[in-house]
C-alpha cells in the first residue's frame, strides 16, 4: 500500500512552487522530504493532503487515482504551526478532535488513553495546552494524529522549533508508529534528522525532486556534502 506523487506541478500567485515532484510513501516506512527553506516542501505537502490542487501530475492511493476526500480519510496531518485549543487539557484536546471526526465516544476515549501512554505524555493529560512546552504540545498533536488510526502520517517541519531533547523524543515516537505499520512522510531542512529517521530521503531543490536516496545506499560522501552540492552551496 502506498501514496504516490507523480510529476506534480503547482503555481501559486505567479510563482511555480512545485515544478516536478515525485515521491512514494509506503506503509511501514519513513520518508524524509529534505530541502532548504523555499525548496517547495510545504507546497508539496499541502498538495498531497488536498489543501491545494495540482496544476498537473497525479496523486495516487495504492496506484489508483484518488479524490481529496478519500485521501484525507487515509492520512493524518501535523505541522509545526498547528493551532491548539489553549484552555483544553491535553486529554480534552485529543478527545475533542476525535469526537469532531465522528468517532464513537468509547473508542475516542480508548484511543486517547492509548496514545497518551504510547508517547509517554500521560503526566500531561490533565494540564492545559497553554501550559505545555512547545515540544510537549507537538507530541500531543502527534498523539492526536496517531489516535485517528490512519494508514499514513504526514508531518510538515514538526521539529522546526524544538530543542534536541524534544526532537529526539519525537523521532522515537515516529519510529514506533513505523513499527505499527504506518507510512510516514516528514519534511525537514535538517540533514541529521533525515539521516536519523528515514528509510528513504527525497531531496527537493527549486521545486523539483532531484534525488531519492535509500537507507544503506546513501551517497558515498556524507549526506550533508551531497545535499549542499545539490543546493548549490558547495562544488
The predicted model gives 95-112 an average pLDDT of: 92
Q: What CATH topology corresponds to 2-230?
A: Rossmann fold (3.40.50)
Over residues 109-122, mean pLDDT: 93
Residue 233: the pLDDT is 59
pLDDT of residue 82: 63
Q: Provide the pairing of β-strand 64-65 with 56-61.
A: antiparallel
Q: Where are the domains of the chain?
A: 2-230
| CA quadruple 76, 81, 85, 91: dihedral sign | positive
pLDDT at 137 over 70: yes
Identify the pLDDT of residue 79: 82
Stretch 91-120: mean pLDDT: 92
The predicted structure's pLDDT at residue 22: 94
Model pLDDT for residues 165-210, shown as the tens digit of each residue:
889 988 999 999 999 999 999 999 999 999 999 999 999 999 999 9
Mean pLDDT of the chain: 90
| Residues facing 31 on adjacent strands | 185, 200
Handedness of CA 73, 76, 77, 82 (dihedral sign): positive
C-alpha cell at 173: 515516537
What does the pLDDT read at residue 222? 85
Angle between helices 134-147 and 164-179 (to 10 degrees): 10
At 93, phi and psi to the nearest 5? -60, -45
User: How many angstroms separate the Cα of 27 from the Cα of each of 34, 66, 187?
Assistant: 19, 17, 17
Task: List, for residues 13-65, the tens digit of each pLDDT value.
Answer: 889 999 999 999 999 999 999 998 888 999 999 999 988 999 999 999 888 88
Residue 70 pLDDT > 90, yes or no? no
Residue indicated by cell numbers 521545486: 207
What is the pTM for the complete model shown? 0.89
Judge residue 31's burial from the number of C-beta atoms within 10 Å of its C-beta, 0-12 exposed, 13-18 middle, 19 or more buried. buried
Whether residue 29 contacts residue 178, with contact meaning beta carbons closer than 8 Å, is answered with yes
For residues 106-122, average pLDDT: 93
Amino acid at each position: 500500500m502506498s501514496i504516490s506523487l507523480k510529476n506534480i506541478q503547482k503555481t501559486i500567485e505567479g510563482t511555480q512552487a512545485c515544478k516536478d515532484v515525485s515521491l512514494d510513501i509506503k506503509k511501514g516506512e519513513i520518508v524524509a522530504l529534505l530541502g532548504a527553506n523555499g525548496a517547495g516542501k510545504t507546497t508539496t505537502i499541502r498538495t498531497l493532503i488536498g489543501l491545494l490542487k495540482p496544476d498537473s501530475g497525479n496523486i495516487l492511493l495504492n496506484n489508483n487515482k484518488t479524490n481529496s476526500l478519500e485521501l484525507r480519510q487515509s492520512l493524518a496531518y501535523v505541522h509545526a504551526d498547528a493551532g491548539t485549543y489553549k484552555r483544553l487539557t491535553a486529554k480534552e484536546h485529543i478527545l475533542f478532535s476525535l469526537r469532531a471526526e465522528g468517532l464513537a465516544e468509547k473508542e475516542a476515549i480508548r484511543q486517547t488513553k492509548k496514545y497518551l501512554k504510547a508517547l509517554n505524555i500521560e503526566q500531561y493529560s490533565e494540564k492545559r495546552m497553554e501550559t505545555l512546552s512547545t515540544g510537549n504540545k507537538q507530541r500531543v498533536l502527534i498523539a492526536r494524529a496517531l489516535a485517528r488510526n490512519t494508514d499514513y502520517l504526514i508531518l510538515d517541519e514538526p521539529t522546526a522549533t524544538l530543542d534536541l531533547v524534544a526532537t529526539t523524543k519525537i523521532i522515537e515516537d515516529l519510529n514506533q508508529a513505523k513499527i505499527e505499520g504506518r507510512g510516514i512522510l516528514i519534511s525537514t531542512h535538517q540533514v541529521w534528522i533525515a539521516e536519523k529517521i528515514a528509510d528513504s530521503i527525497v531531496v527537493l531543490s527549486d521545486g523539483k525532486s532531484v534525488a531519492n536516496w535509500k537507507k544503506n545506499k546513501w551517497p558515498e560522501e556524507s549526506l550533508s556534502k551531497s545535499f549542499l552540492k545539490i543546493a548549490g552551496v558547495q562544488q
